[in-house]
Amino acid sequence: MQMDAFRASLNQAAPPAELPAALAALWWDAKGEWARAHELVDSLETPEGMAVHAYLHRKEGAASNADYWYRRAGRRFHRPALEAEWAALVEGLAP
């Protein structure tokens, strides 16, 4: 799914069924449903899930918790703009 299609799917009531959990979490986050997004990645033990988990905690304002998840995901905390990080995660996770 390309970024344009992903963004267009935000007009729907639910994410497309084929989205993996980490990408579905970003979908819910874009809809303003942080808690729902967090539920999807809270116990997801994949590098992708942990990267989204880190992003969500960063967005929440919990920098130390975000740092923890970035390390678990094998990523450095570069602190780009949240929208840029969201877009990079979507592009990196889109099948």
Q: What is the pLDDT along the chain (95 residues), one digit of tens a residue?
A: 689 999 999 999 999 999 999 999 999 999 999 999 999 999 999 999 999 999 999 999 999 999 999 999 998 776 689 999 999 999 999 87
* pLDDT value of residue 80: 80
**Core vs surface per residue 75-95: b (16+ CB within 10 A) or e:** eeeeeeeeeebbbebbeebee
**Rounded to an integer, what is the distance from CA 72 to the centroid of its chain?**
15
Within 13 Å, how many C-alpha atoms sit on residue 89's CB side?
30
- Tell me the two tokens of residue 5: 């299609």
- Tell me the two tokens of residue 46: 């994949």
Count CB neighbours of 3 within 10 A.
11
Would you say 41 and 52 are in contact if contact means Cβ atoms under 8 Å apart? Answer: yes
Within 13 Å, how many C-alpha atoms sit on residue 4's CB side?
0
